[in-house]
Amino acid sequence: MTNIVIRQAGEADLAAVAALRSEWTREWDGAAEDPGFAQRLAEWFERESSRRVTWLAEDEGRAIGMMNLAVFDRMPRPGRALSSWGYLANAFVLSAYRNRGIGGKLLHTLLGYADANRFARVVLSPSERAIPFYERAGFAPAQSLLLRTLPG
């Protein structure tokens, strides 16, 4: 690992995002043959690109991690400044690159973006394994949010 670069991903990075997402799926669920995956990902990326910011971590040009932030603009209120909040999602670093601070760099970049844009909050739904990572960055359990899951 020489020089890790964190940068925003664009449409030209779809193959790298797809490769990371595929590796993530292999790691958690095993190999999955899905010939239509790349097309569905491209369609999703196009739909989401107006409200989602994705960052890639690269080592000498190779994508080794990613993280994104879905941005929600709050409805304006009289006498109040406009505000937004974000949902941190799709955080992943290739296993060979974990525990080297790359996830922290991605998170630092994402939170810097949220802070620079004065987000009211950033929320996420971490895996059990990731909770300590996010707690070290200042996240804590939410006491004021409610959750509804799909019935059945």
CATH assignment of the domain containing 77: 3.40.630.30
**Is there a domain that residue 149 lies in?**
no
**Is there a domain that residue 146 lies in?**
no
**Is there a domain that residue 150 lies in?**
no
What local confidence, expressed as pLDDT, does residue 2 receive? 65
Structural domains in the chain (count): 1
What local confidence, expressed as pLDDT, does residue 147 receive? 79
**Is there a domain that residue 143 lies in?**
no
**Is there a domain that residue 152 lies in?**
no
What CA–CA distance (Å, rounded) separates 63 from 17?
8
What local confidence, expressed as pLDDT, does residue 85 receive? 96
By residue range, what is the domain housing residue 113?
4-136
**Is there a domain that residue 145 lies in?**
no
**Is there a domain that residue 142 lies in?**
no
Q: What is the pTM of this model?
A: 0.91
**Is there a domain that residue 132 lies in?**
yes
List the chain residues with pLDDT less than 50: none
Query: What is the per-residue pLDDT across 14-31, written as a single tens digit (0 to 9) for each?
Result: 999 999 999 999 988 887
